Amino acid sequence: MLKKMKEEIELLSRHIEVARTVAEHQPIGIMKLSEILDLPSHRIRYSLHVLEQLGYIRASPEGAVATAQTRELFAHLNEDLDDIIRLVNAMKRP
């Protein structure tokens, strides 16, 4: 159970890094993202697909671009992550 949770967090981390890189370098294509993040293009492609489905990025003829929803995500990211950390810490035994 915890192994699956760790894998999901690692995947979420990658999606966030892809979204952050798109926002910083937009418009940007898969190959440039792959180069910047040092990840295989198939992983970048999957993250872009997920982010597009969730509304965080959109495709353009020049490459991926961030949406207003991405700016909102990053505006509250630290607070949202702190909430998750509190929940996980509450599961620990003293």
Write down the pTM of the prediction: 0.88
Q: Which residues contact 59 (CB under 8 A, 6 or more apart)?
A: 52, 65
Q: Which residues contact 57 (CB under 8 A, 6 or more apart)?
A: 19, 22, 48, 51, 64, 65, 66, 67, 70
pLDDT of amino acid 92: 87
pLDDT of amino acid 73: 92
Give me the CATH code for the 2-90 domain, please.
Answer: 1.10.10.10
pLDDT of amino acid 34: 96
Per-residue pLDDT of the chain (94 residues; tens, 9 = 90+): 889 989 999 999 999 999 999 999 999 999 999 999 999 999 999 999 999 999 999 999 999 999 999 999 999 999 999 999 999 899 888 7
What are the DSSP calls for 14-30, one per residue? HHHHHHHHHHHH-SB-H
